[in-house]
Structure formats: structure tokens, C-alpha cells
Amino acid sequence: MADEPVLVVTSLEDVTADLVITELNRRGVPVVRLDPADIGDGLTFAARIGDVEPTWCGRAHTRTRDLDLGRVRSVYHRRPGPWRFDHLERRTRDFAAAEARHGLTGVLNDLPVLHVNAPLANARAEYKPSQLRAAAELGFTVPATLITNDVAAARRFADEHGGVIYKSFRGVPPSDGVTGVIWTQRVKAADLDETLSVTAHMFQAEVEKTADVRITVVGRDAFASRIEAPNPLLDWRSGDWDQLKYTSIDLPEHLAARLVAYLDRFGLAFGCFDFAVDRVTGQLNFIECNPNGQWGFLPDSGAIADAFAALLQAG
């Protein structure tokens, strides 16, 4: 197994993946970095199954690497680039992208090894309704939540809780290569009108918080950081990240075990959990789990990268 590489599926400009690759290199584990978006001159592949082969075999070639698909140790899925078929007319471009997604990434996703995380598991785990139900059933404190397109129901919910917060499910789709963001925001019943009926919205009772906690779980290892802003922010991501204070904290064993149970429920090997710290009780309120979240900015990033490397090395 010593010569079997870890396959890292991501774009070239991915500093988080760089941290993990550095740790794998330090351990002497071979690595192949591959971006499916390079298909064409930058990436060719041929995968076979059938005859005497019960699983995918063949090779993939990038500009700098040659990969034996039958000898991959594990796969780390990060942030592949967007398909680059802009030279084609729209209908042909859409067809080429769909074929590449189902063919090339379909093969990579189906390699019978450890995937961190398996893309289908990620896709299922990204749905907020499933996240909140799983968290509630596992015993986490979940803020009162309403998902609706009914303005009357939303107004009643806001009145009941004395004002609530609104959070988007997925954010703003990219436009011209730029990704938009809708930060968490406070709303009152008077703010809500009939335009709410156009699509689904998520409202939650606001947690009066003193800080946030980001917990990164890799395999069975959990790394927790308390995040504080100089001026209390409803959404810490919306401020100046250079002004945030990060403090590593210890987790009780029962909470760490509950986080692992959450990942197991969705078939995940990794996840970034966000919690709000209640100002009065100090209790952690579950906000969400990002199954492909960022962690390179945290104080424990070195230890997190090492945990990723150990997991991927074990395969």
C-alpha cells in the first residue's frame, strides 16, 4: 500500500487542500491532485469495468501526474473548478458538462475506497431540514425554526418570538464568476410581505449569544474553537476576520461522541459544525454542519491537517 496515492480532487488554487497535501508529503504518502475541470488538453482518462474486472481500472493523466485508477488509496474531495466549456454554444456546453459530471466524476466518486467526503453523502447532508432534525434527535439544542412561504405563518412566528432571524439555505448562485452571500439578518413581522410566497424561507428564534463555536470533526477527532468579535455580530462571517478572536477549547467526551454520531448518520468522515453560545446559560445551540467547510483559518489548522492526513493515509 506504500505506493498507493491519495487522490485529491480539487482546483489548483485551494490553500486548504495545500495544508493536507503538505502533511501527506511529510508522512511520505504519494499524492495525485486532479481537477475534473481540466478535462480536455489538461486531463485525459480511460476507465474500464467488466470482462474480468469487477471494479473500475484504467488510468488518468494530468499535465504532471499519471494515476492508476485501480491503485488509489483514498480520495479527498475538496473544491473542483467549474467546467470550462465556454467555447461551446450553450446547448452543447450544457451537454458536455453533464457528460463530464456523470462520466469522469462518476468514475472518481465510485472508486471503492475511503472518500472524504463521498459527494453523494455531502449532497444529502447539505439539506438544512435534515441537519436540524438529525441534531434535534441526537440531543443538540436547536433554535425554534420555521421553514415556509406562507406570510401569515411567518408573521405569527416572528410575533411569537419577538423578532427572528432569516437565513438562506444555499446563498446566492455565482454570477460572472463571483459568488454572492446573504448574511444572517434580523427580521420583524412588519418586514414580511407577500413576496415571501415566491420561494421557501427559513426563520429561527434568535439566540442571544456571547460567542460562536466552530467544531471541526475529522474521523473521530474533534477540534473546537471559540470565535468572538470585538462588537457582537449576528453573523461572524460578515465582519473583519482579522478582528476576530479565536480560542481553542476542550470538548466534553459526550459532546464529541454526539458529533461523531451526527457524521455517521449521514455517512460523513468530516464536517464543520457551527454553534451559538447562549449569553445567559452558556449552552451551545446547533446552527448547522457544513460537510465541506473551511478550517484553514482556525488556530488548530495544523492539527486538523494532520488528522486529515492520518485518515487519508489509513485509507
CATH topology of domain 6-116: Rossmann fold (3.40.50)
CATH topology of domain 119-142+208-297: D-amino Acid Aminotransferase; Chain A, domain 1 (3.30.470)
Rounded Cα–Cα distance for residues 189 and 305 (Å): 45
User: Which residues have CB under 8 Å from 19's CB, separation 6+?
Assistant: 296, 301, 302, 304, 305
> How many of the other CB atoms lie within 10 Å of CB of 7?
24
Q: Is the pLDDT of residue 156 over 80?
A: yes
Residue 14, helix vs strand vs coil: coil
What pLDDT shows up at residue 231?
73
CATH code, residues 144-206? 3.30.1490
Nearest Cα to 167, choosing from 291, 297, 290? 290
Which string of DSSP letters, residue by residue, matches 182-209? Answer: ---EEE-GGG--GGGGGS-EEEEEPP-E
Residue-wise pLDDT for 209-223, tens only, equals: 999 999 999 999 999
The number of residues making up the chain comes to: 315
Residue-wise pLDDT for 23-58, tens only, equals: 999 999 999 999 999 999 899 999 999 887 789 999
Residue 134, helix vs strand vs coil: helix
Rounded Cα–Cα distance for residues 43 and 35 (Å): 8
Percent of the chain surpassing pLDDT 90? 84
**Are both 119-142+208-297 and 144-206 of the same fold?**
no
Lowest mean pLDDT across 133-147, 155-169, 219-233, 280-294: 219-233
Nearest Cα to 303, choosing from 205, 245, 222? 222
Q: Where are the domains of the chain?
A: 6-116, 119-142+208-297, 144-206
Residue 252, helix vs strand vs coil: coil
